[in-house]
Amino acid sequence: MLSSRLQEVLDGPWAHVRKAARAELAGDKFVAVPGETIDEARERVTRLLRELPADPGVAAGFPIEYGGQADPGGSVVAAEMLAQIDLSLMVKAGVQWGLFGGAVVALGTTYHHDRYLRSIIDADLLGCFAMTETGHGSDVQQLRTTCTYDPATQTFDLHTPHDAARKDYIGNAARDGRMAVVFAQLITGGRRYGVHAWLVPIRDERGEPLPGVTIGDDGHKAGLLGVDNGRLSFDHVTVPREMLLDRYGQVAPDGTYTSSIDNDIRRFFTMLGTLVRGRVVVGGSAANAAKSALTIAVRYGESRRQFTAPGETREVALNDYLAHQRVLGINLAHAYALHFAQDELVSTLHEVQTADGPVDEHRQRELESRAAGLKAAQTWHATRAIQAAREACGGAGYLAENRLPGLKADTDVFTTFEGDNTVLLQLVAKGLLTGYRDAFGSLDGWGRATFAAEQVRAMVLERTAARSLIQRLIDAVPGRDEEVALTDRGWHLALFEDREKHLLEGAVRRLRRGAGRKGRQFDIFNDVQDHVLEVARAHIDRIVLEAFVAGIDRTADDEARALLSQVCDLYVLSTVEAHKGWYLEHQRLTPARSKAVTARVNDLLRRLRPHLTTLVDAFAIPDEWLNAAILREEPGRQDVMAAEDTAAE
């Protein structure tokens, strides 16, 4: 079957993790349950968290000596698979092993690892990642919670100075968490050293909040009912000196602060950078939830017949309509493109995080930028694709029994958590404008004085892993633009690259010009904010395309490669079509060629029509996981109806 061969390609380097998940999590045991109360959902998800198989699992990223498998890539892919089963369970696992456990690994030292990692991996010790505050979500450098060292008692005093400084939206806080990694401003000897993290007990054995800790419940949310998000405030809570996660900054008993990184901001973003995996998980999970939604909608659209075609007795399937194909086919092409990009990102993450020796700082920054950009692209794609799938299923798409409402509600927050998408795009753009030199994973928008307009410069475009392949294709483009076939891959690559480059250079020019004028520095950046965000989007489009091209190049099976190539054509030309205004404004396309792009998109949709189900079958999502009543209806019903039509008309 073509779909099986395609599945082999998609399963990629962590195929064993995907296959194990399909086998070990088979059936409906772990599957999301629609219509639960919040208490039922929380109870179920917490229970199932402890029953998840360890190997391969979301905890695969932990060091082998504590029971993990030192397989960060595998842990991300395991989370992506969970996202197809139950997004609450995925997020709960991500909070426990990714954020909480991940912070203990990355920011703590042997003292913390020896004492806590085993019980974290076993889910005996459930914990929180307490960074975000009600008043400060994206600007984490400016968190208001303080943790002040007192040499007399050799303890820290953790304190929430006012309501806006309470920790908010914290997973595992409202019900289950026993400890929390709390981010706060470190103060010792009367000086601030920026944000650090402490491991802080928040509940006693019986689950009651510890003295000085106030715990609130975020209550009902749009979705993710199984995750107990809550609020934490600290009223002068005493924290032992040893509980500072002190890999990047240490406080001696006498209060002396030391760190291998002098600059406070640089240190903080180095710490944050170690936590990049969370964004990779969120992006990949969103994209995998979108695959579930598209699978449901495409299969429904194949069986659902709406109107009788003139002169025929059999009704036309929804998937036969061009308007339906435009929605589902294009989203499907984007799902494929993003799949290859995510695969490449996971591989890069795995290499960086398993490399021996000192961290390659440039590589780390590039990883952070790609993680940020692909998180934004994949979560927005998920919001769009799941909405499209919901609408494509009509009223049936609104019923909880057909899964789409759950997919939609659960993934909705992904565009704004683990970094707000707009802020992440700014981070990507900033990296491009400074060549990652001063980017530092900062989420500070355009605010900080450390990034002045004068510093911007267009970096040399850095190619992805497949750079020689890409260059070869671009070099092979024959003749002038107008004469090149619309499906010439080299032309596609050159077109995407040109757009990114031109946008980037234009942004640099406008920022420099702004810097030369008087006015508030904020306005200089704000005036070009839309342009700068477009730079980031164009960059991500290119990264995604290059990953897709490299993935096709790796595909050995001829038939699979040919089909993927058509899907890639559709990804490219639908993206060009979406930006045709820009290409025409900048005379990269003539009006005639622009119209030809639209015609070709429609033509590709017609050609791909017979393969729509093949393309979703290749996602290989088990029926129990899809959990949609409309796909379970008795076979043959449509035939009954068709027969009846013939009889009646």
Q: Which of 90, 187, 409, 424 binds a copy of itself (CB under 8 A)?
A: 409
Q: Which of 481, 527, 553, 624 binds a copy of itself (CB under 8 A)?
A: 527
CB atoms within 10 A of CB 306: 13
By CB under 8 A, tell whether 306 contacts a copy of itself.
Answer: yes
Strands 127-130 and 179-188: parallel
* 114, 391, 482, 623: residue in contact with a copy of itself (rule CB under 8 A): 391
Label the pairing between strands 155-159 and 237-240. antiparallel
Q: Which of 209, 176, 158 is nearest to 95 (CA)?
A: 176
Binding status of residue 164 toward a copy of itself by CB under 8 A: yes
Residue 515 is a binding residue for a copy of itself (CB under 8 A) = no
Q: Does residue 228 contact residue 179 with C-beta atoms inside 8 Å? A: no
Give the span between the Cα atoms of 276 and 374, in whole angstroms: 12
> Measured from the CB atom, is 73 or 373 closer to a copy of itself?
373
The span of 120-128, 264-272, 399-407, 489-497 binding a copy of itself (CB under 8 A) equals 399-407
Give the residue with the Cβ less far from a copy of itself, 176 or 444.
Answer: 444
Residues facing 257 on adjacent strands: 251
Q: Which of 64, 323, 556, 647 touches a copy of itself by CB under 8 A?
A: 323
Is residue 405 part of the contact set for a copy of itself (CB under 8 A)?
yes
Our CB check for a copy of itself shows the closer of 472 and 607 to be 607
Q: Which of 204, 454, 482, 644 binds a copy of itself (CB under 8 A)?
A: 644
Q: What is the 3-state secondary structure (H, E, C) of 180-193?
A: EEEEEEEEECCEEE
Task: Rule CB under 8 A: say whether 641 interacts with a copy of itself.
Answer: yes
Token couple for 222 = 């749009």
CB nearer a copy of itself, residue 479 or residue 581: 581
Compare residues 369 and 379 and give the one whose CB is closer to a copy of itself: 379
Residue with tokens 């990692």: 117
Would you state the structure tokens that stand for residue 341, as one six-digit string?
A: 């990009």
Distance CA 443, CA 428 (A): 10
In the bound state with a copy of itself, the residue whose beta carbon lies nearer, of 55 and 218, is 218
Question: What residue type is 108 in one-letter code?
Answer: G
Phi, psi of 2 (to 5 degrees): -60, -40
| Residue 506 sits in the site that holds a copy of itself (CB under 8 A) | no
The one among 63, 122, 161, 562 contacting a copy of itself by CB under 8 A: 161
Q: How far is the CB of 273 from a copy of itself (least distance, A)?
A: 20
Query: Which window, 45-53, 65-73, 310-318, 351-359, contacts a copy of itself (CB under 8 A)?
Result: 310-318
Q: Out of 250, 347, 602, 613, point to the residue binding a copy of itself (CB under 8 A).
A: 602
Whole-number Å distance between alpha carbons of 572 and 496: 9
Cα distances from 529 to residues 451, 507, 523, in angstroms, run: 15, 9, 9
171-179, 238-246, 398-406, 563-571 -> range binding a copy of itself (CB under 8 A): 398-406
Q: Are 177 and 92 in contact (CB under 8 A)?
A: no
For the chain, how many residues are written?
A: 649
Residue of 475, 558, 634, 639 interacting with a copy of itself (CB under 8 A) = 634
By beta-carbon proximity to a copy of itself, the closer residue of 225 and 466 is 225
CA distance 258 to 109: 15
Written as one letter, the residue type at 572 is: V
Compose the 550-579 pattern: x for residues touching a copy of itself by CB under 8 A, - for all others. ---------------------------x--
Rounded distance, CA 171 to CA 620, Å? 30
Nearer to a copy of itself (CB atom), residue 482 or residue 644: 644
Residue 349 or 504 having the CB closest to a copy of itself? 504
Q: Of the two residues 342 and 442, which places its CB atom closer to a copy of itself in the complex?
A: 442
Helix (H/G/I), strand (E/B), else coil: 393:
coil
Binding a copy of itself (rule: CB under 8 A), the pick from 236, 472, 586, 632 is 586
Helix orientation angle between 2-11 and 558-578, rounded to the nearest 10 degrees: 70
Of 197-256, binders to a copy of itself (CB under 8 A) are 218-223
Residue 519 binds to a copy of itself (criterion: CB under 8 A): no
Shortest gap between Cβ of 334 and a copy of itself (angstroms)? 18
CB of 565 to a copy of itself, least distance (A): 24
Contact between 544 and 537 (Cβ < 8 Å): no
Closest approach of Cβ 479 to a copy of itself, in Å? 23
**Backbone φ, ψ for residue 77 (5° rounding):** -65, -35
- DSSP characters over 423-483: HHHHHHHHHHHHTTTTTTT---TT--TTS-GGG--PPPPPP-TTHHHHHHHHHT--S-GGG
Q: Does 513 bind a copy of itself (CB under 8 A)?
A: no
Cis check: omega of the bond before 310, within 30 degrees of 0: no
Binding-site size for a copy of itself (CB under 8 A) equals: 91
Which one of residues 152, 449, 460, 556 is an interface residue with a copy of itself (CB under 8 A)?
Answer: 449
How far is the C-alpha of 122 from the C-alpha of 631, rounded, in Å?
A: 37
The angle that helices 591-608 and 558-578 make with each other, rounded to 10 degrees, is 140
* Contact flag: residue 448 with a copy of itself (CB under 8 A): yes
Q: Tokens in use for 582?
A: 């820009």
Closer residue to a copy of itself (CB): 136 or 463 = 136
397 is a contact residue toward a copy of itself (CB under 8 A): yes
Q: What is the largest CA-CA distance in the chain?
A: 93
* Out of 163, 204, 208, 482, the residue judged to bind a copy of itself by CB under 8 A: 163
Q: Which is nearer to a copy of itself, 253 or 591 (CB)?
A: 591
- Considering the rule CB under 8 A, would residue 422 count as an interface residue with a copy of itself? yes
Task: Decide if 361 is catalytic.
Answer: no
Q: How far apart are CA 286 and CA 91, in angstroms?
A: 11
List the catalytic residue out of 418, 497, 500, 534: 418
326 touches a copy of itself by CB under 8 A:
yes
- For the segment 124-153, give every residue that binds a copy of itself (CB under 8 A): 132, 135-139, 142, 144
> For residues 38-97, which are near a copy of itself according to CB under 8 A?
38
For residue 402, give the 3-state DSSP assignment. helix
Neighbour count for residue 458 (Cβ, 10 Å): 17
Q: Is 420 in the site for a copy of itself (CB under 8 A)?
A: yes
Task: Give the residue, chosen from 250, 274, 455, 529, that forms a contact with a copy of itself under the rule CB under 8 A.
Answer: 529
What residue has token string 């100075």?
161
Tell me the closest approach of the beta carbon of residue 222 to a copy of itself, in angstroms. Answer: 3
**CA angle, residues 472, 470, 342, in degrees to nearest 5:** 160
Q: How big is the chain by its Cα radius of gyration, in Å? A: 26
Is 416 near a copy of itself (CB under 8 A)?
A: yes
Burial classification of residue 613, based on how many CB atoms lie within 10 Å of its CB (0-12 exposed, 13-18 middle, 19 or more buried):
middle
Residues 261-280 that bind a copy of itself (CB under 8 A): none
Stretch that binds a copy of itself, among 73-81, 196-204, 279-287, 586-594 (CB under 8 A): 586-594
* Active-site residue set: 418
